[in-house]
Chain A
Amino acid sequence: MIRCFTVNFSILTGLLLSSALVLADDFATKWDEAEAKRIEAAELGYEWRDTEKILKSAKKESEAGNTEKAMALVAQAFEQSKDAIAQSQREKENWASRVPK
């Protein structure tokens, strides 16, 4: 009985640890993707004010074990940079229409 419990406990711990590692890996990948997007927006001169701060907060949350919150922040930063890049493309087309004639 005790042996059976020990085996089950080990399996459970193993599963939990491996899922935590998968999440951490997933976070690192997503964070890198969001950071690359931020740099892309910055190179276009269109980075938004808070994107870098959001990514820093995401790292802190991840280090504190709040993976769910960390992932949400990374997703927010990624979306911001995507929108910033779209904004730069839109403005290339539209800025001249605002010049007084």
Chain B
Amino acid sequence: MKQLITVLITIGLMGYGFGVVAGPEEDRIAFQKYYTSRFSDTPLDDFINGIYSIDAPSREQWEEIEEFPPYEIDIEEGQVLYETPFANGNSYATCLEDGTLKARHQYPYYDTQRQEVLTLELALNECRQSNDEEPLKYGKGAIAQLSAYMALQSRGEPINVVVPDEPGALAAYENGKEFYFSKRGQLNFSCFDCHGSSAGMNVRADRLSPALGHPSHFPVYRSKWGGMGTLHRRFKGCNEQVRAKGFKPQSVVYRNLEYFLTYMSNGLAFNGPGARK
């Protein structure tokens, strides 16, 4: 009996050692390797450019668009919103750590006291509410403009999401991971089906972008939207494209998804806001 227990424990430890029970860092390494192997012509740090990192003809058009970016007006609007004091005289800077505007790259993170993932957009709205201002609607409009202005300040900063060694943080990460790889909706697609195994393939006239680097360039100005949108707006849109009911932007589900997906891009750089088709 004693021998049997010893054998079982040894097998368990070996399983852990060989990645059967993978932690976030093992996941990230495997995830990045998956894309760099599939798109071996694309340097790792170029994946932040989404579909343009693997589609040369589209990239040319996009680079031309970026000469006069369609999100420029939104950045200006975002700056005005950011700098306009609240009715009580405080401002967004009052809420941010050290008052620094350069905060985009500090999100998302797991707040160990609150036991939940915090995102930039959530923090901006909580800042408003703590200063007796109405929260902004998530997804588009002013929240995306503010986020765009702040994203611009953090361009070039490395993505460095941390999963603290505690059950709540790991559970949030695992929840986002499970969501990412689970098929849902009437069309029975997971996020990974489109942006992993089918990345680079065509869906009607569009090529599917690789997931690696996805969160780096949000918020984005999408031609299809005719305006700016946040990452959670895109999550919801993706879910509904496969005919699943989308979740509310800034719901726990989408914050956990952002946490997992951003962690997968650790080591790359933030380059938002972006312009997409």
Contacts and interface: CB of A to CB of B under 8 A. Distances in A.
Given A91-B184, A100-B33, A100-B34, A50 B243 contact: yes
A101 B178 CA distance: 15
Interface residues of A, number: 21
A44 to B, nearest CB: 10
A52 B245 CA distance: 9
Contacts of A52: 245
Contacts of A45: 247, 253
A47 B245 contact: yes
Task: Give the interface size bracket for B toward A.
Answer: 20 to 34
B65 interface: no
Which of B183, B197, B239, B243 lies at the interface centre, i.e. has the most chain A CB atoms within 10 A of its CB? Answer: B183
A101 B19 contact: yes
A19 interface: no
B177 interface: yes
Nearest to A47: B245
B181 A99 contact: yes
A100 B190 CA distance: 14
Among A49, A50, A101, find the residue whose CB has the most chain B CB atoms closer than 10 A. A49
Interface in A1-57: 42, 45-52
Interface in A43-101: 45-52, 80, 83, 87, 90-91, 94-96, 98-101
A46 B243 CA distance: 10
B186 A91 contact: no
Interface of B: 19, 22, 27, 30-31, 33-34, 177-178, 181-186, 188, 190, 192, 196-197, 239-240, 243-247, 253
Interface of A: 42, 45-52, 80, 83, 87, 90-91, 94-96, 98-101
26 contacts: A42-B245, A45-B247, A46-B184, A48-B185, A48-B186, A49-B185, A49-B240, A49-B243, A80-B186, A83-B186, A87-B183, A87-B184, A91-B182, A91-B184, A94-B183, A95-B178, A95-B181, A95-B182, A95-B183, A98-B181, A98-B192, A98-B196, A100-B30, A100-B33, A100-B196, A101-B22
Closest 5 CB pairs of A and B: A100-B34, A47-B245, A91-B182, A95-B181, A95-B182
